[in-house]
Chains A and B, each alone.
Chain A
């Protein structure tokens, strides 16, 4: 299985801050990476796929980059609604695997 390691596990930030979350795969995944946002009691919501492609309707303050084994999610200017838990997921091969999550707190 491909292991996905996210860092940090939690992050405190303020409205307006720029934040970056990192996801490292245990082997190369050729940009087959998605990022999700999850709020308490809700299903995950797709933000980006193919490492850097923004899902329709997702604000442009969210961006992704990376290649090989290392990927990042950046939120350029935090808004109040962005405080949530973020997960990366590789879909390079089954079993699809998720990072352990990054909880973004005020």
Chain B
């Protein structure tokens, strides 16, 4: 079964850039799946950030699009998230997830999540 593991700094300064990586194991990132980032502020609900296909095609949430870049590294079997100009509002648990194959773009595999604090 595919497994996902997020990694990156747990503390980012305001106005800085949040950078996270999701390592894919027991499976290949080169598949029919898209790969997503989702975040959850403390005590709040889930927000989809964006997704990437192994070809490099991306879709972003318009609410974050001006600050977000998602990229893929097929050689390392991982994908990454960069969020610029962060504020305290970006403090959250960040999850990476695998989307199902077309047309079922639900998220069937999730990483455990990593907490990022902006302070």
List of B residues within 8 angstroms of A83 by Cβ: none
A43 and B112: CB pair below 8 A?
A: yes
**Chain A interface main SS type:** loop
Chain B residues within 8 Å of A91, by CB: 99, 104-106
The answer to whether B106 and A98 have CB atoms under 8 Å apart is: no
| Contact of A43 with B46 at beta-carbon distance under 8 Å, contacts A49-B106, A91-B105, A95-B62 already known | no
Residues of chain A within 8 A (CB-CB) of B100 are 49
Please name all residues of chain A whose beta carbon is closer than 8 Å to the beta carbon of B63 when the two chains form the complex: 95
Bound-state Cα–Cα, A80 to B91, Å:
31
Instruction: Say whether, besides A43-B111, A43-B113, A44-B110, A87 and B104 are in contact (CB < 8 Å).
Output: no
Judging by beta carbons under 8 Å apart, are A87 and B45 in contact?
Answer: yes
Q: Mark B12-41, 1 if CB is under 8 A from A, else 0.
A: 000000000000000000000000100000
Contacts of A98 in B (CB 8 A): 45-48
A97 proximity list for chain B (CB < 8 A): 48
- What are 20 A-to-B residue pairs whose CB atoms are below 8 Å? A34-B107, A36-B46, A43-B95, A43-B113, A44-B46, A46-B108, A49-B104, A89-B46, A91-B105, A94-B48, A94-B51, A94-B59, A94-B61, A95-B63, A97-B48, A98-B45, A98-B48, A99-B45, A100-B45, A101-B45
Which are the 6 A-B pairs with shortest beta-carbon distances?
Answer: A34-B106, A91-B105, A43-B110, A95-B61, A96-B48, A98-B46
Binding site for B on A (CB under 8 A): 1, 32, 34, 36, 42-46, 49-50, 55, 87, 89, 91, 94-101
17 extra interchain contacts, Cβ-Cβ under 8 A, other than A44-B110, A94-B48, A98-B47?
A32-B105, A36-B107, A43-B110, A44-B46, A44-B95, A45-B110, A46-B106, A49-B100, A49-B106, A89-B46, A91-B104, A91-B106, A95-B59, A96-B36, A97-B48, A98-B48, A101-B45
